[in-house]
Amino acid sequence: MTTIDQHNPFLLAMLCTVVDSIERELLLKKQNRRLHILNQVVIETTRNGIIITDRDGNITEFNKFAEILTGAKKQDVINKPIPNAKTNDFIKEVLQTGKEYEDMEFMLRPKMGQDERVCLFDAFPIRDENMQIMGAFAQFRDITERYHTQKQINYLAYHDDLTGLPNRRFFTGHIGELLRQGVNENRIFAVMFLDLDSFKKINDTLGHNNGDVLLKMVAERLKACCHASDQLVSRMGGDEFTILLEEIKDQTEAIQVAEEIIRAFEKPFAVDGYELYITASIGIAFYPQDGRDVEMLMKNADIALYQMKDDGKNNYNIFKSIPSGGGIERLTLENSIRKALQLEEFVLYYQPQIDSKTGEIIGTEALVRWNHPTLGLIPPAKFIPIAEETGLIVPLGKWVLKTACLQHQKWKEKGFTPMRVSVNLSSRQFSKHDLVETIKEILLETHIDPSYLELEITESMTMNVEVAIEILGKLKELGILICIDDFGTGYSNLSYLKQFAIDRLKIDQSFVRDIMTDSNDADIVATVIAMAHKLGIDVIAEGVETKDQLNFLRSQNCHEVQGFYYYPPIPAEQIEQLLMQTTTIKTNLQG
């Protein structure tokens, strides 16, 4: 038996080195084993489907949730390529190019006969210490419930509950999108307004239920007349319908459709044992001669309709422009806006925002008014569109923002409890490259605490998602609150709300107005409130005018409201009086 000479230092050093090496290797194996166990726990307990592959694209990890989402079993796919062809293609690209995917939305069908799952897909390469690709990581997040909820909200928002036809929001939005995409100057399209003649008599005689049955039949008959893919039928409300004819060569094609509809109404409608003969009047306006924007086209088609009703009904009428002084008035307003800022003709009114539970004022929305020296008080609807078109909305918007911030500071200096002030941003302002710097300057000039300033933007401003995320991110860094105004009237995309760092949603008054009479609008409002709360976003409803509307909103946990039920927009001095009354009441209660 060989023994080690304990007095030989060289042999002792070698022995120590070997022992240390063995201990380190055992420790490393133990650590790796623990890390592997930890990784397995994380992979198997996450609610996301996780797939990990090697350099060749063969699966090395496939967790339980991946099995649920794909319908494949781990034992059947391990050491094999990903069974889903689309996912496999993405992974191949990741392995070959190093490309990364994030939040890509697509469908997964687990098994034949099972419903598709909507997932957000992430994938990126796994690299070794030399940054060489050694595999790929893929992750599926199941957003099926959120996807279908959003789809339901969009359907309810853009379709008529009774007939299933697209509604006013969809119709006007569709024309707006058509115009935004750019319509060839040599191309025309027609907007038709249709109204049933003497429909009120049928409602009064046979009851509203039979009236509703008749409206459904009318909708079906109109769809039969306008069945082409470029023809859109919608219901505006009541007995009024609209039709869009996109692809027409000349006016005669629209006239042919109108004549076909008139003939279709010659056949009676069978309702509850009655044969009802009912006629329709139609007004037609054409792009571009009768209008180059949605509002003008809709207005002129409506005018043509009521000219037809005055002329005897049961026929169609093409809009004929009537010379007026409107152009001169418009030019006068445009020139006056340029001077109005210098002459301090604009004033701000403030509409109180209310805590629906306590009735206390918790904020205000700043709204601009124009006190013209000769034309008197001009409503915003008359001068804001002109300011938008001419670009004058940018300096006007800057004035509104600065004035509102200064007024907030005045109230603070008078001893009133600081509260939020909301200011609307126009699309022109939002698209300006110096927007953030301009707001920084105003914050410095007015000394307002940014946490009391809320900027309201519309959904249409966020259509360019990447730009919107960047701008809103910079505004949030300043400490400003962000609110989506008129929520639900644009192309709502709930998946972007978190990315936009939104603080509040403002439910549009067009939904609030009919929540007690229109189940569609009531469902939309309730669903939006629930979804917003789930996302951690506050909600305020505008246009609250009745006690019943308020009670409904309270029942849905909408804690903030504004509208004429409480206060209309009022001058700053009247806001002060309200705040003084509130302060007096609190003082008396405390005393």
Q: E strands within 288-429? A: 316-318, 346-355, 361-372, 376-378, 420-424
Does position 2 have pLDDT exceeding 80, yes or no?
Answer: no
Whether residue 398 contacts residue 431, with contact meaning beta carbons closer than 8 Å, is answered with no
Tokens coding 148: 């279908």
Phi, psi values for residue 236, rounded to 5°: -80, -30
Q: What pLDDT score was predicted for residue 7?
A: 57
User: In three state form, how does the secondary structure of 139-162 look?
Assistant: EEEECHHHHHHHHHHHHHHHECCC
Q: Which of 436-450, 486-500, 519-533 tops mean pLDDT? A: 436-450
Model confidence band, residue 589 (pLDDT cutoffs 50, 70, 90):
very low
Does position 585 have pLDDT exceeding 50, yes or no?
Answer: no
Q: What pLDDT score was predicted for residue 6?
A: 55
Model confidence band, residue 29 (pLDDT cutoffs 50, 70, 90):
low
- 409-430 exposure pattern, b = at least 16 Cβ within 10 A, e = fewer: eebbeeebeebbbbbbbbebbb
How far CA 285 is from CA of 11, 22, 205, 493, in Å, comes to 104, 89, 34, 32
Does position 47 have pLDDT exceeding 80, yes or no?
Answer: no
| Residue 423 bridge partners (DSSP) | 366, 455
DSSP 427-493: HHHHH-TTHHHHHHHHHHHH---GGGEEEEEEGGGGSSHHHHHHHHHHHHHTT-EEEEEEETSS---
Alpha helices (runs of H) in 311-373, residue ranges in sequence order: 326-340
Q: What pLDDT score was predicted for residue 587?
A: 43
Whether residue 50 contacts residue 138, with contact meaning beta carbons closer than 8 Å, is answered with yes
Q: What pLDDT score was predicted for residue 491?
A: 45
How many CA atoms are closer than 13 Å to the CA of 86, on its beta-carbon side?
9
CA Rg, the chain, in Å? 32
Per the prediction, the chain carries an average pLDDT of 84
Domains by residue range for the chain, with CATH: 30-142 (3.30.450.20), 153-318 (3.30.70.270), 353-368+391-590 (3.20.20.450)
Phi, psi values for residue 346, rounded to 5°: -85, 145
Q: Which helix (H) or strand (E) holds 307?
A: helix 294-310
What's the rounded Cα separation, in Å, for the pair 154 and 150? Answer: 6
Q: Which of 408-417, 507-516, 552-561 has the lowest mean pLDDT?
A: 507-516
Averaged over 378-397, what is the pLDDT? 84
Does position 548 have pLDDT exceeding 80, yes or no?
Answer: yes
- 334-379 residue pLDDT tens: 667 877 887 888 999 999 999 999 999 999 999 999 887 766 777 7
Model confidence band, residue 459 (pLDDT cutoffs 50, 70, 90):
confident
- Determine how many CB atoms are found less than 10 A away from the CB of residue 363: 20
Whether residue 423 contacts residue 400, with contact meaning beta carbons closer than 8 Å, is answered with yes
Dihedral (CA of 471, 472, 473, 477) sign: positive
- CA angle at 389 for the pair 387 and 395, rounded to the nearest 5°: 40
Q: Which of 143-157, 294-308, 403-417 tops mean pLDDT? A: 403-417
What's the rounded Cα separation, in Å, for the pair 268 and 273? Answer: 12
What's the rounded Cα separation, in Å, for the pair 107 and 119? Answer: 6
Whether residue 255 contacts residue 316, with contact meaning beta carbons closer than 8 Å, is answered with yes
Model confidence band, residue 220 (pLDDT cutoffs 50, 70, 90):
very high
Tokens coding 243: 């039709």
Model confidence band, residue 270 (pLDDT cutoffs 50, 70, 90):
very high
Q: What pLDDT score was predicted for residue 580?
A: 86
Does position 104 have pLDDT exceeding 90, yes or no?
Answer: no
Distance spanning both ends of the chain, measured CA to CA: 101
Does position 87 have pLDDT exceeding 90, yes or no?
Answer: no
Higher pLDDT, 320 or 125: 125
What's the rounded Cα separation, in Å, for the pair 83 and 135? Answer: 17
- Lookup result for tokens 């200096």: 413
